[in-house]
A = this chain, B = another copy of it.
Amino acid sequence: MGEFELLSRIRDRLARPGPRIQLGSGDDAAIVVPGGATATSVDALLDGVHFRREWSSQAQIGAKALAAALSDLAAMGAEPGEAYVVLGVPTDLDEDGCMELLGGMARVAGETGTTLAGGDVTRAPVLTLAVTVVGHAERAEDLVTRSGARPGDALVVTGALGGAAAGLLLLEQLSASDIDPTPGGSISDALLGRQLKPVARLAAGRTLADAGAGAMIDLSDGLGGDARHIASASGVALRIEVAALPIASGVAEVAAAAGRDPLRLAVSGGEDYELLATLPPDRLDAATAAVEKQSGVALTRIGEVAAGEGVEIRLPDGALLEATGFDQLG
């Protein structure tokens, strides 16, 4: 069965095609009339590298793959448009499993206004997803790159950090009962949710773009590593105060149970999919209010942009905490 038939089977769960789509899945290519600038990004997720099938339902895996891809569009301040999905299917995943996975993806597509516009289905040794997303903006200048940070800018982050990394520790080393006294406790639930059910900060990204963000990136690899990408692309130094970081609820408990430093977890842990952005200081208050109003997400000032290069992450006592990103390939 091809991708067209699979998508047909979940057609009633698909978002209405966006106004730009002239022709969706089922031909040699989808036809879109963008009408302005596009932002295009591709993300691959493989079982055993980016997720584990035993940790998640098929629907969660499909939803996470699309959310992770859309997070790159959030970091550009783009409006989600179309997604194109490669699904590599191992022999032990049947058609119903594929349907469940695409159903999870279709749910996120519907919630975000993304059209699943095409794809390819093939056999693969392990469950493999590659999602290409195309976002839109009226003009190329409306999109926020990593290279627009300027000395004197404020450095801000959406939401809270470390939750996804703490969720990963719960899955890999600990169990929920190490943290929550009662089964299904809310702390472990929230942290597992951050790891298994990430959300792309699309509304916050567009609001930050409108509010004048100079540079923006999504935190997929970890604050330390992703901050370096902005510093390098912009030719500036980023100074981050650990005392200012918004740490997700429960990270301290998980870190204590695992014998880890909660601050390092928040700095180096990946997959939070929060946004790190720079703002001229005179835009900070308006941006903070607008992000909270438009998306219900807190915006926290965690440092500043200075002349120089690289990233400095300072502990409350002024000592330098070494920033560590994931070194894994990709």
Q: Which residues does A use to contact B, with CB under 8 Å?
A: 1-3, 22-23, 26-34, 36-44, 46, 48-50, 72-73, 75-76, 78, 82, 84-86, 88-89, 117-126, 128, 130, 132-135, 140, 143, 145-147, 216-218, 233, 328-330
Complex A-B: 10 CB contacts under 8 Å? A2-B329, A27-B147, A28-B75, A29-B73, A29-B133, A31-B39, A31-B140, A42-B132, A50-B122, A122-B329
The listed residue (B33, B48, B84) touching A42 by CB distance below 8 A is: B84
Quick one: given A88-B128, A130-B44, A140-B22, are A329 and B30 in contact (CB under 8 Å)? no
Q: How far is the CA of A218 from the CA of B75 in the complex (A)?
A: 36
Residue of B nearest to A144 (CB): B28
Task: Tell me the minimal C-beta distance from A85 to chain B in angstroms.
Answer: 8
Task: Tell me the minimal C-beta distance from A33 to chain B in angstroms.
Answer: 5
User: Which B residues lie within 8 Å of A84 (CB)?
Assistant: 40-42, 132
A34 touches B31 (CB 8 A): no
Q: How far is the CA of A86 from the CA of B88 in the complex (A)?
A: 13
Task: Tell me the minimal C-beta distance from A319 to chain B in angstroms.
Answer: 30
Q: How far is the CA of A140 from the CA of B21 in the complex (A)?
A: 10
